[in-house]
Structure 1
Amino acid sequence: MSNLENNSRQASYTGYTNAVTAKEITALLREEVKPAAGCTEPVAVALAAAKVSEVLSNSVGELVIGVSPNIYKNGFSVMLPGVMEAGLDLAAALGSARARAALGLDVLIHLTEDEIQLAKERLEEGKIKVELIETSEKVLIRAKLWSETRSHWAEVTIRGRHDRIVEVVKDGVCLETFEESLQEGGGSKETKAFYAMPVKELVALVSGLDPEPLAFLLDGIIMNKKMAEVGMASPTGLGTAYALKQRYGENGGLRDLGRLAMTMTAGASDARMAGVDLPVMSSNGSGNNGITAIMPLAAYFELKSTSREDQIKALALSHLLNSYIKAEIGRLSALCSCGIAAATGASAAIAWLETRDPEIVESAVVNMIANLSGMVCDGAKLGCALKLATAASTAVETAALAQDGIRVPAGNGLVGHTVEATISNLGRLSRQGMQLADAVVLEIQAEFAQG
């Protein structure tokens, strides 16, 4: 075993579950699993604009939004809820027009015609500008607003998480600040303890949880299925789910778990990426992560009798493993976290439902990483539905293969001697090996924008 593997978070601790309590797991899930209307990158821009507009009582002379490269990449092509048009500048204008930051990631839900009209007027008047910030931080947004008379100004900073406003300044005076480190690897002592847990201990902890404090996770099934139904009912967005349903809907094809999972997952993504004005349950700051972590399980519950308690625990395991893996690859990454992290969580949860065997759960995780580790994130867009469909069907098949004793052996590509080492290696690929990928995607997007 290499020194790098020895230094990873793979260390096994006897009785390690004692270091993270059920209460702390519940708090973590409540922090990371929440409703979001629209893609979370432009929504985060809208949230910053809403907050800074509140500070100046919605007096908008000029609004400049600075964003990190990853925020720009993921907000470039995705449609916004209600308006079904794309653009970070439009997201900022809509956020400023609404000016209700208390809505959080739902700041763009059910926009009124007056709000949309005001936003478009501000765009046409040239009051809204979006700029790139040169930074290695993944989630960083700075919104600076001058009043119409330019006698006052305010600045709001979002950092670390899409809905974490860490500083609010008005006329040079700091009104609000959030001191906890939100950089990659930051967080509370309890949160860090969770991310250091061996996977087997995490599975054991989830298996023993009282499900009732986590019953809110079931809301994600309702929300995301509602979005999926829109995508499956008509050729919304890319039309992936509608085409799949037409292909497999007859002769009982959608009674196959893999086909149903991929169709439902694609349907939710089709509708969300097209700007359908409905919320989804997000996971670790991403609506598409929430869709991919939840919808394969929603398909499983639809086809297989599953107790309410087991549904909650399976959802918890899926969300937690999504967060666990994203702690290594980055909250926003050059890798497709929906396909790699969220779908891995779903596959592991299905393996747990079928067997309750931590070894088989580990095998599902290892196999998913070995299979989908090359899936690149080239921004949020209509085409995400195809990636999510691939990831969902792979999650189902991988869980089944793990039950059949299939496990990619150590030394094959990224696969290490332990599941923790494998996840650590995936993190190295993301953080070190993919450094240029985001820059190349941004160049391609800039070239397209210039015609």
Structure 2
Amino acid sequence: MTYTVKDVLNAQVAPALGCTEPVAIALCAAAARSLIPGEDFDSAEVWLDPNVYKNGLAVTIPGTGGLSGLDMAAALGAYGGDPSLRLEVLRTIDEKVVEKARAALKQDRIKVNLLKDKRGLFVRCEVSGNGHRAEAIIEGLHDNISFMALDGELVESPLVRPRTAEGKSPVSAMELWLKSLTLNDLIALTDQLNDEDVAFLREGVDVNMRLAEQGLKFGMGLGVGKTLERLARQGLMRRDMLLAARILTSSAADARMAGASLPAMSSAGSGNHGLTAILPIWAVKDYVDNVDERQVLEAIALSHMITAYVKAHTGRLSAICGCSVAAGAGATAGVTYLLGGDARHIAGAIKNLMEDLAGVICDGAKAGCALKLSTAAGNAVQAALFSLQGVNVHHTDGIIGLSPEDTMRNVGTLATDGMVETDRTILDIMLSKRFSDVQ
């Protein structure tokens, strides 16, 4: 089966309100809760794979006044989430919902379980109440509800995404196709863009720019973007395209990780990936002469394609920071394209970026992600500029392959096979730290 650029954009790019791991938990809980009659429920229990558990552990949930937690995400989804909104499931919560969720946690009615040996994105939620027990499962993709049941009986629901004729989920089928493509194939996909696609890509820019503007205005979270902007105004850092990319991207991450009630246009299932895939390219355009908006949006489309390609190899979640190696690769490809580079230059930029950032770990979603997005954005621009000047990492170096496809596959192998124990160790450290904090 083959897909069009519209298919990829529809499947891989979507607005997401809040970090997508707590959102996936809230969505699963909301889907299960929707099957229980009545206005209340007795209890909810959630089972999570290690990566969803890790990423949702400490990040602020939008609309809660600074609250966080896996159990809180489940409670919010069950009490006030609208599952039909998918990754914007929490758009409907208000103060009353937050208070109900707080009360449920105090009464120990929400339980969270870690599935230590589970591989791949997985969320399962059971909600009990009014003599009924409902269940929902999300797997593969943050909003891919694959199963719903009431009292042990399968429920047909428009919320459940159908499988292909071969029994594969839509996500896995598309990822298999993506893995079969070459870099030239991915670049060629941008030729298929129509006016509707271009308008959608521009919407993604507008959505993510609102987050960046919020972060810059209020210095939210760590205030990385606001600090970089201040240093530039003080003359302590030179404002160039690298710094511009870092400021925009980190400002948006500051706002998002602090729980701003604004959606991000996500890429490959992650809002922070979306910020990294889009904003560095949008920042660089101001330093390029004779470029029109259509070319900029084509570059962003290529960025989304490359991001999806790398994530097809690494998996949705892993011990490697996807903003660095996946969205970073997308961003450097897009910047190189925007600066007039051809496929050879784009290949070199991707290799440069991978050599530079493949060792960046993912230790969960939190305010500090703004630092990593700042690094990814700046290094994406640098990798592009280096390649355009003939600086390219040689294939004999480390995990770098003969081709960009080989390099991206090698990073996927590193993420899926080589860093499994690293991932467990990261989560163990995070859990022991939180336990110590409680003590």
TM-score > 0.5 by shorter chain: yes
Structure 2: distance between partners of 1:424 and 1:292: 21
CA distance in 1, matches of 2:236, 2:382: 19
**Aligned-partner Cα distance in 2 for 1:170–1:135:** 27
SS of structure 2 residue aligned to 1:26? helix
SS, match of residue 436 in structure 1: helix
- Between 1:314-323 and 1:116-125, the stretch displaced more is 116-125
Which runs of no fewer than 5 residues in structure 1 stay unpaired? 1-18
Q: What is the CA–CA distance in structure 2 between the aligned matches of 1:437 and 1:184, rounded to whole Å?
A: 30
**Corresponding residue for residue 449 of structure 1:** 434
Partner residue of 2:366 out of 381, 388, 393: 381
Instruction: Tell me which of 20, 28, 31 is aligned to 1:51.
Output: 31
Q: Is the 8 A contact 1:160 1:184 kept in 2?
A: no
Residue aligning to 1:9: none
Answer whether contact 1:344 1:395 (CA < 8 A) is retained: yes
**Amino acid of the structure 2 residue aligned with 1:169:** A
CA distance in 2, matches of 1:110, 1:277: 11
Contact 1:109 1:278 in 2 (8 A): no
Indicate the SS of the match to 1:55: coil
State the alpha-carbon separation in 2 of the partners of residues 324 and 254 from structure 1.
34
Judge conservation of contact 2:163–2:169 (CA < 8 Å) in 1.
no
**Alignment match, 1:156:** 136
1:34-433 correspondence runs (5 A): 34-57=14-37, 58-83=39-64, 84-109=66-91, 111-147=93-129, 149=130, 151-176=131-156, 178-180=162-164, 186-188=172-174, 192-207=176-191, 209-210=193-194, 212-250=196-234, 255-304=239-288, 306-433=291-418
Once the two structures are TM-superposed, the CA of residue 419 in structure 1 deviates from its matched residue by: 1.3
- Report the equivalent of 2:8: 28
CA distance in 2 between counterparts of 1:87 and 1:212 reads: 38
TM-score normalised by L of structure 2: 0.93
- Paired residues of 1:137 and 1:183 also in contact (CA < 8 A): no
Q: Which moved more, 1:273-282 or 1:196-205?
A: 196-205
2:125 partner letter:
A
Q: Residue 312 of structure 1: CA displacement?
A: 2.0
Structure 2 unmatched runs, 5+? none
Identify the range of structure 1 (260-269 vs 351-360) with the bigger mean alpha-carbon deviation: 351-360
List per-residue Cα deviations over 1:169-200 (Å, max 9, x = no partner).
00111003643456798215xx5333311102
The aligned length equals 427
Counterparts of 1:300 and 1:252 in 2: how far apart (Å)? 21
- The alignment partner of 2:173 has SS state of coil
* 1:367 to 1:184, Cα distance in 2 relative to 1, 3 A: farther
Q: CA 1:99 to 1:265, structure 2 compared with 1: closer, same or farther past 3 Å?
A: closer
Q: Report what 1:3 is aligned to.
A: none
Give secondary structure in 1 for the equivalent of 2:155.
Answer: strand
Contact 1:49 / 1:143 at 8 angstroms: preserved in 2? yes
Contact 2:341/2:388 (8 A) holds in 1 = no
**412-421 or 179-188, larger mean C-alpha shift:** 179-188
Q: Which amino acid aligns with 1:140?
A: F
Aligned to 1:4: none
User: Is 1:440 equivalent to 2:425 in the alignment?
Assistant: yes
SS at 1:426 equivalent: helix
Deviation at residue 208 of structure 1 after TM alignment: 5.6
Contact kept, 8 Å, 1:82 with 1:110, in 2: the verdict is: no
> Does the 8 Å contact 2:80/2:92 carry over to 1?
no
User: Aligned AA for 2:60?
Assistant: M
Deviates more, 1:163-172 or 1:195-204: 195-204
Q: Quote how far apart the aligned CAs of 1:109 are.
A: 2.4
Letter matched to residue 273 of structure 1: M
State percent identity of aligned pairs.
36
Contact persistence 1:154–1:170 (CA under 8 A): yes
Give the residue type in structure 2 aligned to 1:324: Y
Match for 2:288: what amino acid?
K
Distance 2:2 2:344 in 1: 21
Shift in CA distance, 302/250, structure 1 to aligned 2, threshold 3 Å? farther
Give the deviation of 1:384 after TM superposition: 0.5
Q: Which moved more, 1:230-239 or 1:164-173?
A: 230-239
Equivalent-residue separation in structure 1 for 2:113 and 2:235 (angstroms): 52
When residues 54 and 248 of structure 1 are mapped into structure 2, their CA distance, relative to the original with a 3 A threshold, is same
Change (3 A) 1:101 1:110: closer
How much does 1:250 deviate?
A: 4.4
- CA–CA distance in structure 2, aligned partners of residues 346 and 39 of structure 1: 20
TM-score normalised to structure 1 length: 0.90
Whether the 8 Å CA contact 2:81–2:92 is kept in 1: the answer is no
Change (3 A) 1:172 1:208: closer
> CA–CA distance in 1 between the matches of 2:26 and 2:168?
20
Determine if contact 1:60/1:146 at 8 Å carries over to the other structure: yes
**Secondary structure at 1:167's aligned position in 2?**
strand
The answer (yes or no) to whether the contact 2:198–2:294 under 8 Å persists in 1 is no
- 1:211/1:313 contact within 8 Å kept: no
Equivalence for 1:16:
none
Q: Which residue is equivalent to 1:12?
A: none
- What secondary structure does 2:282 align onto? helix
